[in-house]
Homo-oligomer: A and B are copies of this chain.
Amino acid sequence: MAKMDLRRLRYFVAVAEERSVGRAAVRLRMAQPPLSVQIRKLESEVGTPLFRRGTRGMELTAAGRALLSRAREALALTAEGFEAARAVAAGRRGRLSVGYMFALAHAVLPRLVPELRRSLPKVDLEFIELSASTREARLLDHSVTVALCMPAIRHSEIEVSTIGKQRLMLAMPAGSQLARAAAVPVRKLQGRPLISLPGPAEDPATSVVTSLLRRHQVSMPVANRVETAHSALSLVLAGEGMAILPACAQLGCPTGVVFRPFLDADDAIDVAVCWRRDSLNPLVRNFLKCAEKVIRQA
């Protein structure tokens, strides 16, 4: 009574559709007698005939019809369940929270998002903007699964994959005297106020900038510390000083601010995908593939 074997249901559906035990047996690649037996067992299990036997085959009874639709659904559901489990395990399905730094929003997301949707259509994507000072915490407390960072996070619990580089450029008001030339010598920055991103000296986000300045023996007083490249650009526009930012930041940059490369330096900052080392979410790997693909073709 409490058998409810799916095999029986599959047999039942086949017989119902073929309206014949013999034909159903062919379809199921088995002999006719055992199929006949299984159908009768199912009927005794349910407690009522499911077919009317005629000389020309079998025909469903009303009770059989009532069972048929549900049997089909149950079969489809378990098949779907298996497939869903496989898809989740393979990272083709699930939920993925992507954190990103603002500076990358215009440079990467417009190409990355369509690519993700295309290659992982069943994945539920969520995008969260991260600030420089909270990105680690957001990864560690699981509020994002992966983070697009610039530069990479350094943390023992966090794994990093560098997917590209962005050259440092100088951002300044459009009217600035330095903006007249196509490229700026580093030494011309001497003494000018700097809008700086946060973090300790060890933080590579700023240390790339400081090492660039140190190498050219240039010092810039820190006029402001801000959280995001966006804020930095606002302050540049306000005339508070200049900022040294990755090239991609100019894509979201307000009019009135111009970017110039350095004449005598091509320092670059890493763009990286970061995720918890203990994350067993297979989506991370697939996300990485997409991100690399997008960066490569850029």
Tell me, yes or no, whether A16 is within 8 Å of chain B by CB. no
Binding stretch for chain B, among A86-94, A166-174, A203-211, A261-269: A86-94
Tell me, yes or no, whether A80 is within 8 Å of chain B by CB. yes
Tell me, yes or no, whether A48 is within 8 Å of chain B by CB. yes
Binding stretch for chain B, among A68-76, A236-244, A248-256: A68-76
Q: Tell me the count of chain A residues lying within 8 A, CB to CB, of chain B.
A: 43
**Bound Cα distance from A163 to B54, whole angstroms:** 35
Given contacts A62-B88, A74-B74, 17 further A-B contacts (CB under 8 A): A3-B7, A9-B78, A9-B81, A48-B85, A48-B89, A61-B280, A62-B89, A62-B94, A63-B88, A64-B85, A65-B88, A66-B94, A67-B81, A67-B84, A70-B80, A71-B81, A74-B78
**Bound Cα distance from A281 to B66, whole angstroms:** 13
Are A66 and B93 in touch, CB under 8 angstroms? Answer: yes
**Bound Cα distance from A251 to B158, whole angstroms:** 85
Tell me, yes or no, whether A128 is within 8 Å of chain B by CB. no
A280 / chain B contacts, CB cutoff of 8 Å: 61
Are A88 and B73 in touch, CB under 8 angstroms? Answer: no
Q: How many copies of the shown chain assemble into the complex?
A: 2
Nearest-neighbour CB distance to chain B for A237, whole angstroms, equals 45
A71 / chain B contacts, CB cutoff of 8 Å: 78, 81
Tell me, yes or no, whether A141 is within 8 Å of chain B by CB. no
Secondary structure of the A side of the interface? helix
6 closest A-B pairs by beta carbon, nearest first, are A70-B81, A48-B89, A63-B85, A66-B84, A67-B85, A74-B77
* Chain B proximity mask over A49-65: 1 for CB below 8 Å, otherwise 0: 11000000000011111
If A62-B94, A77-B77 touch, whether A82 touches B4 (CB-CB below 8 Å) is yes
Tell me, yes or no, whether A26 is within 8 Å of chain B by CB. no
**Bound Cα distance from A90 to B77, whole angstroms:** 28
**Bound Cα distance from A4 to B75, whole angstroms:** 9
**Bound Cα distance from A75 to B63, whole angstroms:** 19
If A78-B70, A281-B62 touch, whether A50 touches B85 (CB-CB below 8 Å) is yes
Are B4 and A78 in touch, CB under 8 angstroms? Answer: yes
CB closest residue in chain B, given A47: B86
Tell me, yes or no, whether A5 is within 8 Å of chain B by CB. yes
Interface centre among A9, A62, A64, A69 (most CB of B within 10 A): A62
A73 / chain B contacts, CB cutoff of 8 Å: 74, 77
- Contact residues of A between 145 and 170, Cβ < 8 Å to B: none
